[in-house]
Amino acid sequence: MNNSARNSAYTKSYNRKLITGIIHREPVSRAELARKTGLTRAAVSIIVDELISDGFVVEKGVAEAELGRKPVLLDINPESCYALGLNISRDKCSLGIVNLKGELKARKEIDLSSAADAGEALKIISEEIKRMHLETGTAPKKLLGLGISTPGPVDVFSGTIINPPNFDMWKNVNIVGELKKEFPCNILLENNSAALALAEKYYGLGKKFSNFILMVVDTGIGSGIVINDKLYRGFGGFGGEIGHTSINVNGDLCSCGNVGCLEVYASMPAVLKKAKRIEPGISSWNEIVDRAEAGDTRFLEIVEEEARYLSAGIVNVVNILEIEAVVLTGDIFYKHGIIMDSLSRYVNERAMTRKVHRVGLYASEIAKNADIIGAATIVIDDFIRLY
Amino acid sequence: MNNSARNSAYTKSYNRKLITGIIHREPVSRAELARKTGLTRAAVSIIVDELISDGFVVEKGVAEAELGRKPVLLDINPESCYALGLNISRDKCSLGIVNLKGELKARKEIDLSSAADAGEALKIISEEIKRMHLETGTAPKKLLGLGISTPGPVDVFSGTIINPPNFDMWKNVNIVGELKKEFPCNILLENNSAALALAEKYYGLGKKFSNFILMVVDTGIGSGIVINDKLYRGFGGFGGEIGHTSINVNGDLCSCGNVGCLEVYASMPAVLKKAKRIEPGISSWNEIVDRAEAGDTRFLEIVEEEARYLSAGIVNVVNILEIEAVVLTGDIFYKHGIIMDSLSRYVNERAMTRKVHRVGLYASEIAKNADIIGAATIVIDDFIRLY
DNA sequence: TTTACTTTGTTAAATAAATTGACAAATAAA
DNA sequence: TTTATTTGTCAATTTATTTAACAAAGTAAA
């Protein structure tokens, strides 16, 4: 799509997406759209009229102006269509409906414990999707599509779950292909971290940044990379494995085959191992943070060391990609204030770009229901993203 | 340019570049162009006719075909226009003319030792450019532009040399702005490694790869990243600093402010330091390689360790960007056979993507005159690159 | 209050690109 | 020689934006 020739159909589709995306970010007038895009007001009018008659956009009052006729504001009609989001993780499976503004309209946990294999699991999921459609009264014609997110590597082109860690049932399952037989709509699969990055881009901190990474720090360390407002996947869809970049060439072997991986040092199991040497009963990052916050220097040191390790991985990414910001989520999100300052200090002391611009370090702004919203955003992104 | 609206001018320009680029890679017929681009044969004909009447393209015999009318092959007319390349490095300054096929038509070393400051140096350079124009008889109207490459960080948008290492004369000099006063043509500045990556892309191994990095290993370790056939620069133009990614979070401080940088372990000065402990008289990588090749295991170990360090940096890049290949140049190029196998083994044992596809490790294919050809390719790329 | 000036948004005609569909040219196989 | 196939061109058509004029809606100053 991206490297083939241009024609008037492409032009129309591109400009329509461009305008939809700008309105989706925040309400604007036609005149402002013309200024932002470089299109003439006439062209903008034509496209906006179409978007209005398709229901995606609505006129919404007028804005103030110093001089001249007041501009009519255009806004996304959030209820014009819905996206289904399905998040499959190790221990649970969640389904939900999200509108164009990223608001959760319904969610449900699906129990797959009775399913012996992926086929049976897919049957249960299909039933739940149908039920949710009925219960929420979401007409099929208003459906943008279904976004699916899972941990581990996925083949986004074929829609196949490759090899989810500790999660054999879904291994090599072409989940998109299977579900399309039942639901002939736009179905897309992404890695969990990539989906969260998209959610952050459209509905969180990513609004401010065109180039950032979202890091998920829990059992493993995953990431989604956004470059130029687009998800970066690598040429085969397997990029962004920041958890398996090495921060120590002489370090221990990682399960991935590399040595000294960031995950070996900074994932939650790795940190817990250290904490248990101090207090064997400790079983979560939250407990470590609570003790550190209470003033226990032994645990404060663990938090500080976590910051040092994570920042080493982050600086490597920053020096390669020159991103503007890093957004953190996962277990590390808990009382993140305690680690953020150290992280920010380490990164901005060491990144090459520090002379030109700071790298922002933030906690995710959409922690609640991020799993479903992330999955649903995969199809919302497909609707708006430029190509 | 890239994120603004599309119109017919864009469409035309894009399709023209698309077709020019395909012909530039290898001779093709109009029909084949239509198949490759998705344009109709009619549209291809119109664009090709323009390219021919502009002189960029020529018809060049016919190709064999199983059936039907034989296709007329189209080829780039290499002499239809020229690119000037200027490479400024620590110890020398080189100027040259390169045609559209990447062939060097003239080159000259410029002596800047008499210049007290950048202003005087620019005067000398301007004179040499004029002289080269006269001597080679290259009419100004055939000039595609001037590409400039220098080590260290550059601001490609303003055309300013930021802070070349050990090279104070050029610090913060807006070389593009200054030279444009004298030569009102397309003048572009890039980092040295980025320019070499472009040369490799158009005239070397990059023809086979759309996603690769070019690594220059000598006094420092620089790199140029090519993603989707385009140079990746980061959002401010300061990305790709692979030499300053850390391979040891507990390593020594680097001059850049980071710790355990790849450069600290694998740059030529770092390796030489180790070699001198064995044999104080050694003063170059070439000598190390020669002794290793002769069977001296102490030096073989140094070469092997160099491979291990370099591969650690490479694997990190591969796991983040999922590139297809790494092309090496710089001092490390000398008798590269001795290090390539180890490098390839280390990388493909450790990269996450090894289950999906191998990462190719190669020595540069355009070592000769690469400095000038790289610089000139900056403007050739600007002529052909899609946006 | 009137007038001048600005800005927004719409309209019809003009323009510029690729597409459509027909066709001639060139070639190999039947 | 005929048929089938592929290449390349041409004129008419289609589809997008642009151009340029204008009406609508508002502010500010005379």
- For residue range A206-222, list pLDDT tens digits in order: 999 999 999 999 999 99
DSSP state, residue A331:
G
Structure tokens at A213: 């990474």
Q: Residue B378, CB, less than 7 Å from strand C?
A: no
Q: What's the whole-number average pLDDT of chain B? A: 95
Nearest CB among A14, A236, A317 relative to B356 is that of A236
Cα distance from A138 to chain B (closest Cα, Å)?
A: 34
Question: What Å value separates CA B8 and C1' C17?
Answer: 5
> Are the CB atoms for A198 and A231 separated by under 8 Å?
yes
A151 occurs within a structural domain: yes
Residue B45 in contact with partner chain A when CB distance is under 8 A: no
- pLDDT for B58-99, tens place per residue? 999 999 988 999 999 999 999 999 999 999 998 899 999 999
Residues facing strand D, Cβ within 7 A: A 8-9, 11-12, 15, 38-43, 46-47, 62, 65-70; B 5-8, 29-32, 41-42, 45, 48-49, 65, 67-72
A134 occurs within a structural domain: yes
Considering the domain architecture, whether residues B160 and B39 belong to the same structural domain is answered as no
Closest residue, chain A, to B318 (C-alpha): A239
Considering the domain architecture, whether residues B230 and B93 belong to the same structural domain is answered as no
Question: What Å value separates CA B19 and C1' D20?
Answer: 35
Nearest CB among A37, A237, A356 relative to B236 is that of A356
Per-window interface: B 153-212 vs A, CB < 8 A? 210-211
- pLDDT for A147-182, tens place per residue? 999 998 899 999 999 987 777 899 999 999 999 999
B68 occurs within a structural domain: yes
A186 occurs within a structural domain: yes
Considering the domain architecture, whether residues B46 and B139 belong to the same structural domain is answered as no
DSSP state, residue A237:
S
pLDDT at B90: 85
pLDDT at B236 over 70: yes
Considering the domain architecture, whether residues B222 and B252 belong to the same structural domain is answered as yes
Q: Residue A5, CB, less than 7 Å from strand C?
A: yes
Considering the domain architecture, whether residues A261 and A186 belong to the same structural domain is answered as no
d(CA B349, CA B341): 12
pLDDT at A1: 52
Q: What percent of chain A has pLDDT over 90?
A: 90
Chain C footprint positions (protein CB, under 7 Å): 5-12, 15-22, 25-29
pLDDT at B285 over 60: yes
Nearest CB among B235, B240, B315 relative to A324 is that of B235
Considering the domain architecture, whether residues B141 and B287 belong to the same structural domain is answered as no
Question: What Å value separates CA B339 and C1' D12?
Answer: 64
Question: What Å value separates CA B67 and C1' C28?
Answer: 6
Domain that includes residue A23, residue range: 8-76
Q: List helix spans (H) across B63-159.
A: 118-136
pLDDT at A140 over 80: no
Burial class (CB in 10 A: 0-12, 13-18, 19+), B289: buried
Q: How far is CA A255 from CA A155, A259, A263, B34, in A?
A: 21, 9, 10, 48
A250 backbone φψ class: left, alpha, beta (φ>0; ψ -120 to 50): alpha
d(CA A43, CA B304): 62
A3 occurs within a structural domain: no
DSSP state, residue A249:
T
Residues contacting residue B266 through CB under 8 Å, at least 6 positions apart:
B217, B221, B306, B309, B310, B313
Cα distance from A323 to chain B (closest Cα, Å)?
A: 7
Crossing angle of helices B370-384 and B8-25, in 10° steps, is: 140
Considering the domain architecture, whether residues B45 and B115 belong to the same structural domain is answered as no
Mean pLDDT, residues B106-123: 95
> Are the CB atoms for B219 and B189 separated by under 8 Å?
no
Closest C-alpha to B124, from B139, B113, B140: B113
Nearest CB among B5, B6, B257 relative to A350 is that of B257
Structure tokens at B242: 């692979």
Mean pLDDT, residues A46-58: 97
Give the count of alpha carbons within 13 A of B78, CB side only.
Answer: 12
Specify the nucleotide whose C1' lies closest to residue A46 (CA): C10
Question: What Å value separates CA A72 and C1' C3?
Answer: 26
Burial class (CB in 10 A: 0-12, 13-18, 19+), A356: middle
pLDDT at A2 over 80: no
A298 occurs within a structural domain: yes
3-class state of residue A310 by DSSP: helix
Specify the nucleotide whose C1' lies closest to residue B11 (CA): C17
- pLDDT for B172-203, tens place per residue? 999 999 999 999 999 999 999 999 999 999 99
Considering the domain architecture, whether residues A380 and A255 belong to the same structural domain is answered as no
B3 occurs within a structural domain: no
d(CA B223, CA B273): 23
In chain B, which residues have their Cβ closer than 8 Å to the Cβ of A8?
8, 11
pLDDT at B2: 67
Could you tell me the CATH number of the domain that includes residue B165? 3.30.420.40
Q: How far is CA A181 from CA A96, A126, A128, in A?
A: 20, 10, 16
Question: What Å value separates CA A70 and C1' D30?
Answer: 24
A171 occurs within a structural domain: yes
Closest C-alpha to A275, from A299, A292, A293, A291: A299
Mean pLDDT, residues A266-295: 97
Mean pLDDT, residues A126-130: 95
Cα distance from A34 to chain B (closest Cα, Å)?
A: 9
Residues contacting residue A17 through CB under 8 Å, at least 6 positions apart:
A383, A384, A385, A386, A387
Q: What are A223's strand-pairing partners?
A: A215
- Which of A17, A41, A76 represents a domain boundary (last residue)? A76
Considering the domain architecture, whether residues A237 and A309 belong to the same structural domain is answered as yes
The strand order across the sheet containing B72-76 reads B28-29, B72-76, B57-62
- Which of B30, B53, B76 represents a domain boundary (last residue)? B76
d(CA A93, CA A112): 7
d(CA B248, CA B246): 5
Per-window interface: B 132-161 vs A, CB < 8 A? none
d(CA B208, CA A330): 40
Per-residue confidence at A21, pLDDT binned at 50, 70, 90? Answer: very high
**Interchain proximity B240–A4, CB inside 8 Å:** no
d(CA A196, CA A223): 9
Could you tell me the CATH number of the domain that includes residue B66? 1.10.10.10
In chain A, which residues have their Cβ closer than 8 Å to the Cβ of B43?
5
Considering the domain architecture, whether residues A212 and A357 belong to the same structural domain is answered as yes
Residue B239 in contact with partner chain A when CB distance is under 8 A: yes
pLDDT at B21: 97
**Interchain proximity A320–B324, CB inside 8 Å:** no
Closest C-alpha to B220, from B144, B166, B160: B166
Closest residue, chain A, to B154 (C-alpha): A356
Residue B119 in contact with partner chain A when CB distance is under 8 A: no
Closest protein CA to C1' of nucleotide D24, residue? A69
Specify the nucleotide whose C1' lies closest to residue A6 (CA): C18
Considering the domain architecture, whether residues A152 and A273 belong to the same structural domain is answered as no
Q: What percent of chain A has pLDDT over 70?
A: 99
> What is the number of domains present in chain A?
3
Q: What's the whole-number average pLDDT of chain A? A: 95
Considering the domain architecture, whether residues B254 and B301 belong to the same structural domain is answered as yes
